[in-house]
Structure 1
Amino acid sequence: MSKKDILTPIGITFGFIVIMLAILSSGGTEGAVSFIDVSSILIVIGGLIASMLIAFKMEQLKLIFKLFKATSLQNSKQLPELIALFSRLAERARREGILALENDLDGIDDPFIRKGLLLVVDGVEPEVINDILEAEIMAMEERHAKSRSLFEKAAEYAPSWGMIGTLIGLVLMLNQLSDPSTLGPSMAVALLTTLYGTVLANLVFTPMANKLEGKTEEEAFYKQIIIEGIIGVQSGQNPRILEEKLNAFLSNEDQEKQKEIQTSNIIGESINEA
C-alpha cells in the first residue's frame, strides 16, 4: 500500500508562504491586498481551463484529480524484499521444478510478477517472456507520458495566459492615458496576470510533472529488475548467484537492508529446523 508523500503539499505550501512573506515584508498588509486582482485571476485561470478543454479529451481531463493524488503518494515497493522473493522462488524452482511456482502465485500481489511467473509456468521461451514484459513497460511509460502531459501543457499555457493578460492591461492603460486614475488598475492587470501564470507554472504544474516523471522512471526500473529475476528463475540459476546479480541494482543503503533480510531469513530457518 502506498504511503503519503508529504513533500509535495509541503513544497507548494512553503512556496506560497515564501511569496506572501516577501510581499508582506515589503508592503505590509496593504501591499498584500494590491497583489489580489479578480480580473487577473479570471484571465489566467479561465484561459487555462479553456486551453485545457481544447487540447485534451474529457477522458483525459478526468484523470487530473488522480494525478494530483499520485504526486502525494510515495512508492512503497522495496527492492530488497523483491530480491529476497526471487531468491526464494529460484530455490523452490531448483528444488521442486518450475511447475511448483504455481503454488506461490496466490501469495504474490504484484500483477507484473504474477504475469511473468504464469508465463514461466506455461513454458514460454525466455526471449518471448522478455519481449512481452518489455512491451508492457513501454506501454506503461506511454500511458504515464500522456497523463503527465496534462501538467506539462498546463505549465506552458499558464504563463502564456499571463502574457495575454499583460497585453490586455497595457492596451487598457494606453487607451486611458487621459485619466490618471485608471493607470494603476490597468497596470495591475498587466503585471499580476504574468505573476499568477508564472507562479502556477513554476510552483505547481512543472514540479508535479517532474515528480510524476520520476515515479514513472522508478516503476520502470523496478519492473526491469522483475524481468531479470523472472528470467533467472526460469533458467534455473543458483539462488545465490541470482541474488548477487540482482543486488547490483541496489544502492549501498539498500544492500545493507538486503543483508539484514538475509540474516533474518537465516535465523528464521534455524528456528524452524530446531
Structure 2
Amino acid sequence: MDILSAIGIVLGLVSILGGSILKGSGIAALWSPAAFMIVIVGTLASVLLQTPLATFKRALHIARWTFQPPAADRHALVAQMLEWSNASRRQGLLWLENQVEAQPDPFIRKGLQMLVDGLEPEVIRHMLEIELHGEETQDLAATKVFEALGIYAPTLGIVGAVLGLMAVMQNLADPSKLGPGIAAAFTATIYGIASANLVFLPMSAKLKSVIASRSGARELAIEGLIAIAQGENPRNIEARLAGFLH
C-alpha cells in the first residue's frame, strides 16, 4: 500500500470540502448533477474518443498501482540472483528448471526458461529487452489516459460554467435565482480544476514513477540472468548489480 497516495487523496478531499465549509458555502453547494454530467461524463467521453480500447483497458488495470504498486524489492532480487548463480555453478543450469514454475513474475520466469533452454546470452538479452520495451511502451501509453483526463477536465469545467451562466441570464427577471444560479455555474469549474489537479494529473505522474521503478527492476533481472548465463563468479555478479540498488 502506497501510504503517500492514500494521504494525498484524503488531504485533497479535506482541502475542497473543508475550504467550502470555511468559506461559508457548505458541502451541499459542491453537489451539482448538471456539473457532474458536463465535466466528468464529458471528460470521459473525450478520452474514450481519443484512446484505443486496448490502451484504455490497460489504464484501468494499472490504475491500482497508484495505491498498490507492483512489488520491486531489488535487494531481494539481487539475493535471488546470487542464489541461482551459486546453485547453477555447482549443479548446472538445468537445476534452474525447478525454479521456473515457482516464479510469480512472468518476465523473470521467461528469462529463467531461456537459461534452462541453453540460449546464448546475447539472444536472451535481446529477447528480454524487447519484452521490457513492449511492456514499458504499453504502460506509458496507459498513463496518458489519466494525463488526458487532467487536460480535458478543466476545459469541460469552463464549458459547464458557461452553460450555467447562460441559464442564469435567462432568469434575469427573477433576482432570487441569480445567486444560486451563478454559484451552481462555478461548481462545474471546481469539478474540472479540482479533479484534474488533485486526481488525474497526480495519478499520471505517480504511475510514470512506478513504471520507471518497475523497468529498473526488470533491467536488474536482465543483467543478473545474463551474468548467470555467462557463468560469472557470484562476487562479480553482486558487484555488477550493486549499481541498480541506488
TM-score by length of 1: 0.80
Give the 3-state SS of the residue equivalent to 1:248 in structure 2.
Answer: helix
Q: Count residues in correspondence.
A: 246
Show structure 1 runs of 5+ residues with no match: 252-274
CA distance in 1, matches of 2:56, 2:224: 37
Q: 1:105 to 1:47 in 2, by over 3 A?
A: closer
Quote the offset at 1:104 in angstroms: 3.2
The whole-number CA distance in structure 2 between the counterparts of 1:24 and 1:167 is 25
Per-residue deviation, residues 53-100 of structure 1 (Å, max 9, x unmatched): 323355554555534433221333311111111112222232233333
Which amino acid is 2:153 matched to? A
- Counterpart Cα distance in 1 of 2:244 and 2:51: 38
Q: Aligned in 2, Cα 1:173/1:92: closer, same or farther, shift over 3 Å?
A: same
Residues 226-268 of structure 1: per-residue CA shift (max 9 Å, x gap): 01101111111110111121122113xxxxxxxxxxxxxxxxx
Once the two structures are superposed, the pairs formed by residues 78-97 of structure 1 within 5 Å of their partners are 78-97=73-92
* CA RMSD across the alignment: 2.3
* Partner of residue 21, structure 2: 24
Compared CA separation, residues 97 and 73, structure 1 to 2 (3 A): same
Which of 132, 149, 153 is the matching residue for 2:144? Answer: 149
> What percent of counterpart residues are identical?
37
| Greater Cα shift, 131-140 or 121-130 | 121-130
Other-structure match for 1:258:
none
Mapped to 2, the partners of 1:32 and 1:104 lie a distance apart of 56
**Which residue identity lines up with residue 16 of structure 2 in the other structure?**
I
- Post-superposition Cα deviations, 1:16-45, rounded to whole Å, max 9, x if no partner, equal 112222222231xx5443333332222212
Which of residues 15, 27, 40 in structure 1 aligns to 2:12? 15
Q: Pick closer, same or farther for the CA change 1:240–1:140 going to 2, 3 Å.
A: same
Alpha-carbon distance in structure 1 between the residues aligned to 2:74 and 2:4: 22
Compare 58-67 and 6-15 and name the one that shifted more: 58-67
1:49-128 equivalences under 5 Å are 49-57=44-52, 60-62=55-57, 65-128=60-123
- 1:225 is aligned, of 206, 220, 224, to 220
Q: Which has the larger radius of gyration?
A: 1
- TM-score normalised by the chain length of structure 2: 0.88
